[in-house]
Amino acid sequence: MNSSAVSAAALALALAAIVSPPAQAVDAGEIDTFSGSLEGWFAGGGPVGQVPPTPPQLVADGGPLGAGDSFLQLTGTGSQGAGGRLVGMNASQWAGDYLAAGINGIAMDVRNLGNVDLTVRLYFEDPIPGPPQNEAVSEGFLVPAGGWTHLLFDISPQALTVLQGDASVLLANTTVLRIFHSPVADFPGEPVAGVLGIDNIQAVPEPSTIALMLLGLAVIGKFCRKRAT
């Protein structure tokens, strides 16, 4: 293999590490579209948890794009028992080091499918299982009943409300991310009889991370064009 081919291969591997890091680690290109699966989102379970009577469900039709667009549906019964609160959690592709990945926001499309106003927040925890040492919640967005709306959560350390520990330490080692309802910046939220549709959960990179990804793609494109001539 000649030196130019070695350089191209090394560049491709470096770019792949940015765009597609190891499994079980959040990355700047992450987006959950729920096209055929729950994409690792669940509720309840764990060493002391209980499975709610209506767990997160995949709805095959009626997402932001209309007919044929599937989405995630979370349900809260409003009771004091399992499933009373509206919450969905993910401990796989949304766990990891948000700071190293250069992610400072999480965007999503949501729709309140019930009759009660919902306040949607994010909750970050470290570690799980076991009592968390670091935990924080995001700002809340009021979502009344109606059509689909787009939310953008600022998850930079200074934007989170820290419940325990340190926000930077937490974002560097998040073990579980939750989407939940709570009128106040605290966790867990109050029980609510509500239904929330969610789609297109997307990591929002910092500008510097976007620039690095675009630069890598441009260099690879230039190399390919040179090889083709």
* Number of continuous H segments (helices) and E segments (strands) in the chain: 4, 12
Q: Where are the domains of the chain?
A: 23-206
Confidence class for position 60, pLDDT limits 50, 70, 90: very high
pLDDT above 60 (res 14) = no
DSSP track, 52-94: -SS--EEE-S-BTTBTT--EEEEEEE-SSSTT-S-EEEESSTT
pTM for this entry:
0.79
Percent of the chain with pLDDT over 90: 70
Q: Which tokens sit at 107?
A: 């965007």
Domain 23-206 sits in CATH at: 2.60.120.260
Mean pLDDT of 156-184: 97
Amino acid identity, position 52: P
> Residue 121 and residue 118: Cα distance in Å, rounded?
10
